[in-house]
Amino acid sequence: MISDLNAGDRLVGQFLLSDVKKGVKDGGATYWTLLLQDNSGTMEAKKWDYLPEDDAVLVKGTVVQLSGEVLKYRNALQAKIRTVEALDQTDIDWGRFVACAPVPADVMKAKLDLCIASIKDPDIRALTKGFIDDFLEDLLVYPAAVRNHHDYIGGLLFHSLTMADVAANVCRVYPAINRDLVLAGILIHDIGKTVELSGTKATAFTLEGKLLGHISIGHAELRRKAKEMGYFAWDGLSEEEQAAHPELAHKKEVAVLLEHIMLSHHGKPDFGSPIMPATREAFVVAMIDDLDAKMNILDKAFKPVEPGNITAKLFNMDDRYFYKPTFGEPEGHPGLTLKDLEDDLK
């Protein structure tokens, strides 16, 4: 398994090609950059000698037989590939090659249900549940990204639920924050990724993902659901009718506030959000989203690094290196906790 490999080890086995790119050396010769994957993790690999038959074998999303050796390059492990062989894809046990969230799916589903039930405002709770129900099957299994963070089966929901744990504590420290809006916004903020991304194996961007992005997709779907559930019925009333139905004004405000969180959760236009956060709750969601994504990026970067050394330069962390201390390394993942939300429900 990739997680068991060390510098100097011989590499022999079957691996999923989760990314495949051609490059050109200074002298003009072609080489391959591969991202090898099994259910324990990923490793970059290079095949420096180009063979014409490689074009038919080195295909993203397929499992191949490889041999080579493991080297250390810039404080990270990298495989040097000697041979590659095609395999019959009909007999592949995909469970060997696709990583899963560190928490079982049934625990995440229970946590999701508890999160929704803990939202006290009935209009926020109803829209959140209705919207999630439309995408639930994919939400339970989709990754959160092609590569950068939470890029494994169940990663999308695990990311959102981890954010919910952080938010529960933030809202206790800062009681002026509307906890219902923050929690609802967190649970729905990335649902557009179930359309943006292709699925769980060799995940890639769909046509919609390339041209629209998950924020635009998510906002359009949320507006569709809110209208379907009558959250914009207030707009069709006369002034007299509007004055007589403040409950409909509340529904519209709820829908628009959640749309705002959806549109602004990347924080800045430079990061993909068409608008910047303009409510306390949207600001909190954007900060927690950024924090959780970057903590996961660092977890991945530190994994192959020995204590006392630094990571490779991380382009998604402002091209910085990070030092791994020689003490205080945690054992495993503590898992999502239901206790905080259970206390909220009492």
Task: Say if residue 80 is in the same domain as residue 138.
Answer: no
Task: Say if residue 119 is in the same domain as residue 267.
Answer: yes
307 is a domain residue: no
Could you read off the pLDDT of 245-255 as tens digits, one per residue? 999 999 999 99
CATH number at residue 14: 2.40.50.140
324 is a domain residue: no
Task: Say if residue 121 is in the same domain as residue 244.
Answer: yes
Number of separate domains in the chain: 2
Of 96, 116, 151, which residue is a domain's last? 96
Burial 97-119 (b: 16+ CB within 10 A, else e): bbbbbebeeeebeebbebbbebb
Range of the domain at 117: 105-299+334-345
Could you read off the pLDDT of 76-97 as tens digits, one per residue? 889 999 999 999 988 888 778 8
CATH number at residue 259: 1.10.3210
Task: Say if residue 195 is in the same domain as residue 267.
Answer: yes
Task: Say if residue 118 is in the same domain as residue 207.
Answer: yes
320 is a domain residue: no
**SS (HEC) of 132-174:** HHHHHHHHCCCCCCCCCCCCCECHHHHHHHHHHHHHHHHHHHC
Please give the share of the chain, as a percent, with pLDDT higher than 90: 67
226 is a domain residue: yes
Task: Say if residue 224 is in the same domain as residue 115.
Answer: yes
Task: Say if residue 155 is in the same domain as residue 253.
Answer: yes
Task: Say if residue 66 is in the same domain as residue 166.
Answer: no
Could you read off the pLDDT of 269-317 as tens digits, one per residue? 888 899 999 999 999 999 999 999 999 889 888 887 889 999 988 888 8
Task: Say if residue 114 is in the same domain as residue 21.
Answer: no
Task: Say if residue 83 is in the same domain as residue 214.
Answer: no
Is residue 346 very low, low, confident or very high in pLDDT (cuts 50, 70, 90)? very low
**Using CA atoms, how far apart are residues 321 and 210, in angstroms rounded to an integer?**
30
Task: Say if residue 142 is in the same domain as residue 198.
Answer: yes
Task: Say if residue 173 is in the same domain as residue 246.
Answer: yes
